[in-house]
Amino acid sequence: MAAFQHCILLVEDEVLIRFDYADCLELAGYTVVQAGNADEALSMIVVGTPKVDLLVTDVNMPGNLDGLGLAARAQELNPSLPILIVSGHMRADQSIWPVLAKPLHCDTLLERVRDVLG
């Protein structure tokens, strides 16, 4: 199955939500690397290990960067990296990246991930 070849970096500070999204993605066959904030995620992107095929990030998080700052920095480092934003407070027309509204159902998340990764 092709999904096993894709690694998703999932960034969400709310642990239960992050675990729920990770379970959803892993059950569909994706490899998921988790980060609790943008600073942690950015360090993984900078090092390049693991190779990330998709960044899925929440917007509001503690730390030096929010999810939008992370997305911008990630695309500076890797312009071809696809990004999905997940937010309970933001509309799709407020971002240059696709925005998924919270609360987010597993089927919706998987549909968008499949659209992005092919």
CATH of the domain at 54: 3.40.50.2300
Query: Rounded distance, CA 94 to CA 34, Å?
Result: 25
Is residue 96 assigned to a domain? yes
Structure tokens at 118: 């092919």
Is residue 46 assigned to a domain? yes
Q: Tell me, what's the pLDDT at 17?
A: 97
Q: Token match 């995620």: residue?
A: 41
> Based on the structure, what is the number of domains in the chain?
1
pTM for this model (two decimals): 0.93
Residues of the chain below pLDDT 50: 1-3
Is residue 118 assigned to a domain? no
B/e letters for 37-54, b = 16+ CB within 10 Å, e = fewer, are: bbbbbbebbeeeeeebbb
Cβ proximity of 7 and 31 under 8 Å: yes
Is residue 21 assigned to a domain? yes
Is residue 75 assigned to a domain? yes
Domain holding 88, by residue range, is: 2-113
Which residues, in sequence order, are CB contacts of 87 under 8 Å at separation 6+? 58, 59, 60, 67, 99, 100, 101, 102
Q: Tell me, what's the pLDDT at 2?
A: 45
The secondary structure of residue 113, as a DSSP letter, is H
Quick: pLDDT tens for 54-77.
999 999 999 899 999 999 999 999
Q: Tell me, what's the pLDDT at 61?
A: 92
Cβ proximity of 42 and 65 under 8 Å: yes
